[in-house]
Structure 1
């Protein structure tokens, strides 16, 4: 079973985190939600999630994918956390997937993970993502090698379904879409 890590920081975007967690789990994918600190994490609009574990407890584990939700100031907190940077570096060194949505692709750009790649983000963060040799596009979901990016809360479902397809295949994505009554 594929394993995904979704780190949560205070101020994350509810729709992006919860949609990804829910859709991946529907796809039979193990999702580990890890808070930067122990205890509940409050989202940008006041929703509170209880992570499965603190980030420190899962730092030495391997994951097929790391997914960064957007939301402010959540993205700022993720960007400033050296553990998150280390996780992303480890994923890259093992040619494993990294995915980010909304403002979170700016973290990937800041750490050099988007160099020479196609990527997207929330339009408000275009200037922080479209730096150097990044080929910025405005598609809902952009896959380039082991990096997957998306635009924002409105593209969360498409993003999550793309992650299911990457991790579990096209047939599993179709099964999840059918269960969600996702429009064709």
Structure 2
């Protein structure tokens, strides 16, 4: 079973965080949510999220993928955390998946993960970064790096993550149960 880490920072975008966590768990993927700070995480719209563990505890384990929810100031808090930057670098060097949505791809850029890659983000967050080919697509995969635009693309992003980790059949099964069409 695939293992995914979803770090939660104060001010994260709750729609993105919950959608990612929910859809991955629906697919049978083991998801660990980890707070950058101990205790409850207050998301960007005031929703309170209770992480499974702290980031320091989560970092004692290994993961197949790390997924960063966006939102502000959550994405800025991720980008400013040296533990997150080290984790992203380590995951990329190990050939594992890194993913980010909304403003959070700026943390991938800060860690050097987007160098020479195509990526997308909430408008304006990747502009003028050398070495990043910015796309306006809803979801962009370049190798083992996935990025997405924002809250409106969270479900497509999460389903893409499900497909990568469990295959197209499981993605279709999860998506069908959501009654999107």
Flag whether TM exceeds 0.5 (same fold).
yes
Residue-by-residue CA offset, 1:136-155 (whole Å, 9 max, x unaligned): 11000000101000000000
Say how many residue pairs are matched: 181
- What is residue 29 of structure 2 aligned with on the other side? 29
Residue-by-residue CA offset, 1:27-61 (whole Å, 9 max, x unaligned): 11011000011111000000001000011111121
Given the two structures, how large is their TM-score scaled by the length of structure 1? 0.96
CA RMSD of aligned residues (A): 0.9
- What is residue 112 of structure 1 aligned with on the other side? 112
Structure 2 residue runs of 5 or longer lacking an equivalent are: none
Structure 1 residue runs of 5 or longer lacking an equivalent are: none
- What is residue 172 of structure 1 aligned with on the other side? 170
1:163 is aligned to 2:150 = no
Alpha-carbon separation, structure 1, partners of 2:70 and 2:154: 10
> How many Å apart are 1:124 and its aligned residue?
3.1
Alpha-carbon separation, structure 2, partners of 1:132 and 1:90: 22
Report which stretch shifted further, 105-114 or 29-38: 105-114
- What is residue 142 of structure 2 aligned with on the other side? 144
Segments of 4+ in structure 1 off by > 6 A?
Answer: none
Given the two structures, how large is their TM-score scaled by the length of structure 2? 0.97
